[in-house]
C-alpha cells in the first residue's frame, strides 16, 4: 500500500467516524431509548392481555383473567381522563 492509498483509507475512516458521531448523538440515543422502552411496555401489555385471554379461554390459568380485567380497567380509566 502506498502513501496515497493509505491517505484515502484514512479519509474514508474519518468520514465514517463523522457519520457515526452524527447518528449517535445524545438526543438521538435518548429519543430512541424512550421509543424502545415504550414499545417494550406496550408489547408486554399486549402479550399479557392476549395471552391471558387465550389461556383463560383454554382453561389454563383462570386467575389470569383477573389481571387482564385490571389492565383493561386501567386503560379505560386513562382514556376517560
Q: Please, what is the Cα angle at 75 between 69 and 80, to 5 degrees? A: 125
- The answer, yes or no, to whether residue 16 has pLDDT greater than 90, is yes
What is the distance between the alpha carbons of residues 2 and 21, in angstroms, rounded to a whole number? 29
Cell of 64: 389470569
pLDDT digits (tens, 9 = 90+) for 26-60: 888 899 999 999 999 999 988 888 887 787 788 77
What is the DSSP secondary-structure string of 26-79? Answer: HHHHHHHHHHHHHHHHHHHHHHHHHHHHHHHHHTS-TTHHHHHHHHHHHHHHHH
Q: Kindly indicate the confidence band of residue 74, based on its pLDDT and cuts at 50, 70 and 90.
A: confident
Q: How many CA atoms lie within 13 A of 36 on its CB side?
A: 6
Amino acid at each position: 500500500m502506498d502513501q496515497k492509498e493509505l491517505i484515502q483509507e484514512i479519509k474514508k475512516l474519518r468520514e465514517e467516524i463523522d457519520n457515526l458521531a452524527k447518528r449517535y448523538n445524545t438526543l438521538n440515543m435518548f429519543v430512541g431509548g424512550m421509543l424502545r422502552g415504550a414499545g417494550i411496555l406496550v408489547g408486554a401489555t399486549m402479550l399479557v392481555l392476549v395471552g391471558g385471554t387465550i389461556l383463560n379461554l383454554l382453561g389454563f390459568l383462570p386467575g389470569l383473567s383477573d389481571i387482564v380485567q385490571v389492565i383493561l380497567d386501567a386503560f379505560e380509566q386513562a382514556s376517560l381522563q
